[in-house]
Amino acid sequence: MELPVVPPEAKQPSRFFFAAYASVTIGNKTIDALIYSVTYNGSYLAVEEIITIIVISIPPVKKALDYVKQMANSR
């Protein structure tokens, strides 16, 4: 059984390992790892933020959060 050949990028510390493979080609344009990461993570985090704001604006949830704040401040 042969061991797989390790690319030179894989010999770097683990935080840099995936950056070597993160470039994405769309058409004839290559997207940088940082831009790809910000776009990918930002897309679902923005949706999650909107949903969270809607949920904490619901009156029973807001009342419960105010109650928890009051309990925390009373100690």
Q: What is the biggest distance separating any 2 CA atoms in the chain, rounded to whole angstroms?
A: 67
pLDDT in tens, 2-21: 666 655 555 555 554 555 56
pLDDT on residue 39: 82
pLDDT in tens, 18-35: 555 666 666 777 677 777
pLDDT in tens, 20-74: 566 666 677 767 777 777 888 888 899 999 999 999 999 999 999 999 999 999 8
CA–CA dist 70, 75 (Å, integer) = 9
